[in-house]
């Protein structure tokens, strides 16, 4: 369960979030749509306790993130799989080491088991052949998939995905979206997915919202959003084809 109320965050005199409200039930998947620079990544980072909000409250599974001590914060983070917008793969480690590192630190799983599991997840995102490469040797889309595998391998109860399909071709985008949906259904993951890709949002999420002026302006099912008569919302639904 993720409950955000009155979340505000500014950098200097740039107010990014301005009283944002969001409630995502346990096991629900929610997409955040929004133009570039509206604060989508900032929102995700606040949820994971990486940025400290100026005001407001964020509750993740009964723990208040913004007021949590280190131990509580760790408890929450053990449940979180985070896909960073730029991937954030550890560039000194190979792809599979990236996954193993996360498993053994996040969940304290023994190495041999971690290695098997990591390989499975890399196979799932189609990177089995490249698992011993360094991140610098991968293409943009491969990095994204590797980073997704790293977020998923810990089998998180909460999944925070920052643009999982950006930079991928339409076919891979579809596959990745389906993969997230499948894992979501299988493990009842609570997910928040930031995306510009309306197809992805449609596949992955039950509900979506449009972030604008520091708040979630419209929320509802994808179909409901498609019917809203506001050009800024409608813009996301204009298919390029």
Partner 1 sequence: MKRFFTHLYELASFSFRFVKEALVPPYEFGELVSHLEDFGSRSLPLVSAIGLLMGLILALQTKPTLARFGAESFLPAMVAISVVRELGPVITALIVAGRVSSGIGAEIASMRVTEQIDALEVSTVDPYHFLVVPRVIAAVIVLPLLTAYADFLAIIGAFIVMFVTGDMGWQLFITSTLNSLSISDIVPGIAKTFFFGYIIAIVGSYFGFRTEGGTEGVGKAATSSVVFASFIILIADLVLVRVGIILFG
Chain positions contacting ligand ATP, by CB under 6 A = 11, 14, 16, 34, 36-42, 85
Among positions 41, 43, 102, 157, the unique one binding Mg ion when judged by CB under 5 A: 41
- Contact range with Mg ion by CB under 5 A, out of 15-23, 68-76, 81-89, 151-159: 81-89
Which residue lies nearer to ligand ATP by CB, 33 or 103? 33
Residue 166 near Mg ion by CB under 5 A: no
Among positions 42, 89, 142, 193, the unique one binding partner 1 when judged by CB under 8 A: 89
Which residue lies nearer to partner 1 by CB, 80 or 215? 80
Contact map string, positions 23 to 62, toward partner 1, x by CB under 8 A: ----------------------x--xxx------------
> Smallest gap, in angstroms, from Cβ of residue 51 to partner 1?
9
Which residue lies nearer to partner 1 by CB, 78 or 232? 78
Rg (C-alpha) for the chain, rounded Å, is 18
Residue 118 near partner 1 by CB under 8 A: no
Q: What does the alpha-carbon distance between residue 179 and residue 185 come to, in Å, rounded to a whole number?
A: 10
- Residues that bind partner 1 in the complex, under the rule CB under 8 A: 45, 48-50, 74, 77-78, 80, 82, 84-91, 101-102, 105-106
């Amino acid at each position: 369960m993720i409950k955000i109320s009155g979340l505000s965050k500014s950098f200097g005199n740039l107010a990014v979030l301005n009283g944002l409200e969001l409630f995502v039930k346990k096991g629900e998947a929610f997409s955040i749509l929004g133009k570039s620079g509206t604060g989508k990544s900032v929102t995700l980072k606040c949820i994971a306790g990486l940025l400290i909000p100026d005001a407001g409250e964020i509750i993740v599974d009964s723990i208040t993130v913004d007021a949590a001590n280190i131990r509580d914060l760790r408890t929450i983070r053990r449940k979180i799989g985070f896909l960073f917008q730029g991937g954030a793969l550890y560039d000194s480690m190979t792809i599979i080491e990236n996954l193993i590192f996360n498993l053994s630190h996040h969940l304290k799983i023994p190495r041999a088991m971690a290695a098997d599991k990591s390989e499975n997840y890399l196979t799932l995102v189609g990177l089995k052949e490249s698992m011993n490469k360094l991140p610098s040797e991968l293409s943009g889309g491969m990095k994204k998939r590797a980073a997704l595998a790293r977020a998923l391998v810990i089998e998180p109860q909460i999944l925070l995905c920052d643009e999982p399909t950006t930079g991928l071709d339409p076919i891979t985008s579809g596959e990745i979206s389906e993969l997230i949906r499948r894992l979501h259904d299988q493990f009842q993951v609570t997910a928040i997915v930031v995306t510009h890709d309306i197809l992805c949002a449609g596949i992955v999420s039950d509900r979506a919202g449009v972030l604008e002026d520091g708040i979630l302006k419209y929320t509802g099912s994808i179909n409901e959003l498609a019917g809203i008569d506001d050009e800024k919302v409608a813009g996301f639904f204009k298919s390029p084809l």
